[in-house]
Amino acid sequence: MPEIGACVLDTHALLLHAAGGRGLGRKAAAHLLACEQREAIAYVPAAVVWEVSLLVRGRKVHLGRSLRSFFEDLFSNPAYQALDLTTEQVLLADETLPNRDPFDGLICAAARSLGLPLITRDQAIQDSGLVKVVW
């Protein structure tokens, strides 16, 4: 069983996991393995889905299938839960940004709104102290 039962997933962590997990931190990899075994939960904010879509459209990321198919496959495992964007998350992001990236602001706000740690290696997010970070 993982140390933490639920986390919020950042975009790069999701993409590293989808590519086989190389580059993930030890705790992040352990949590996502537990998710694969349906022993933990990873919330995927709508902002992550949107950011992945922009990365695919800009040809910076290749999923090997359609965006829809990628996320349908991911969410077919109940350990991965889609997290809708709320007005509260937008307001939290506006009030306290970890950096100049609006996606990071929304993703941190999602973690804050749930009171959960964020799986990320982003140093600016770690340094901001806005959320507990798992890596």
What CATH number should be reported for the domain whose range is 6-134? 3.40.50.1010
Question: Do residues 11 and 48 touch, judged by C-beta distance below 8 A?
Answer: yes
Residues facing residue 44 across a β-bridge = 82
Q: Which of 39, 49, 46, 47 is nearest to 6 (CA)?
A: 39
Q: How far is residue 106's CA from residue 135's CA, in Å, rounded to a whole number?
A: 19
Distances from the Cα of 50 to the Cα of 72, 102, 105, angstroms? 14, 12, 13
Measured distance CA(45)–CA(74) in Å, rounded: 13
Encode pLDDT of 11-64 as tens digits. Answer: 999 999 999 999 999 999 999 999 999 999 999 999 999 999 999 999 999 999
Q: Count Cα atoms within 13 angstroms, Cβ side, for 35.
A: 28
Cα gap 133→122, rounded to integer Å: 9
Output the pLDDT for position 87: 97
pLDDT in tens, 99-127: 999 999 999 999 999 999 999 999 999 99
The answer, yes or no, to whether residue 81 has pLDDT greater than 70, is: yes
Residue spans per domain, the chain: 6-134
